[in-house]
């Protein structure tokens, strides 16, 4: 945190900073717990102008105000600085918490958009996420999620030209593999364990979104990729928002998880690209 950032934080929060402590989380910017003289604790992200922390701040606010999702209130959102309430966490995701999460996510997914996309481009981690309004979901997923991230992986040397050709073949088959959802739903967009906070009894908040309007199964798929949710979540979710769970588990979950797998391929390489290509070869024909 620079002296100038500290001054802006103190102005926004209305008090002098007495202590800072590093917090875990996020793959961009530095995350700090900030305590003020006289009381009050906040979570603060500090970075550079290119980190676009203002987008994250607006996304958190939109999820809460538009989608009813519990997110930390934001006090300052600028490209290099984000200050928000500190949310209690560390309680894990036992069955009762997952059931509570199911209600929150189902309500979020009931929030309808005018089309697929969002009012602005967002970020998934440090990566650009384009959101131009698009009338059909298959076209949006193909042209704004799968193919751009695959090309980014090729550009960074994480995937080969042959891999990209196989991904192109798969994208050409989407009409027979992916259904158009009933309506565009507001999504968290990065629904994995580290972004779901609880006190061990109930959800306390959701953080680090990659917000847009899309197929709700994108959130559901992402929540299975790293074992965030299981039947304790999906049972209550399906009671509120019935969906074709068999088709989701057999086909669409793996197809939709290509996007976060490719994100991880771009960022980290390693086995993520191999995992993505196993799915691609399974469905590309």
Q: Which residues are part of the catalytic machinery?
A: 190
Please, where are the H alpha helices in the chain? Answer: 3-13, 53-65, 95-109, 137-140, 147-155, 161-171, 217-225, 231-240, 245-247, 253-256, 258-268, 271-284
Backbone angles phi, psi at 22, to 5 degrees: -65, 145
Helix, coil or strand: residue 125: coil
Rounded Cα gap, residues 222 and 121, in angstroms: 20
Q: Which two tokens stand for residue 261?
A: 């797998």
């Amino acid at each position: 945190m620079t002296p100038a950032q500290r001054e802006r934080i103190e102005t926004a929060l209305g008090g002098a900073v007495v202590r800072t402590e590093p917090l875990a989380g996020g793959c961009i910017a530095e995350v700090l717990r900030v305590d003020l003289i006289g009381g009050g604790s906040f979570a603060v992200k500090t970075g550079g102008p290119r980190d676009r922390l203002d987008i994250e701040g607006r996304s958190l606010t939109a999820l809460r105000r538009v989608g009813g999702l519990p997110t930390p209130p934001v006090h300052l959102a600028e490209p290099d600085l984000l200050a928000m309430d500190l949310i209690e966490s560390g309680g894990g995701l036992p069955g009762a918490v997952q059931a509570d999460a199911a209600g929150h996510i189902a309500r979020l997914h009931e929030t309808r958009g005018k089309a697929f996309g969002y009012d602005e481009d967002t970020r998934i981690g440090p990566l650009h996420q384009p959101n131009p309004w698009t009338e059909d979901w298959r076209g949006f997923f193909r042209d704004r999620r799968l193919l751009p991230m695959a090309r980014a992986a090729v550009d960074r040397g994480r995937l080969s030209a042959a891999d990209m050709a196989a991904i192109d073949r798969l994208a050409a088959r989407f009409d027979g593999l992916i259904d158009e959802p009933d309506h565009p739903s507001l999504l968290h967009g990065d629904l994995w364990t580290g972004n779901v906070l609880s006190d061990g009894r109930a959800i306390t908040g959701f953080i680090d979104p990659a917000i847009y309007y899309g197929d709700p199964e994108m959130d559901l798929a992402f929540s299975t990729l790293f074992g965030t949710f299981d039947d304790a979540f999906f049972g209550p979710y399906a009671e509120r928002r019935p969906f074709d769970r068999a088709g989701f588990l057999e086909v669409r979950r793996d197809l939709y998880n290509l996007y976060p797998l490719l994100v991880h391929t771009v960022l980290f390489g390693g086995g993520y690209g191999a995992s993505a290509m196993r799915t691609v070869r399974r469905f590309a024909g």
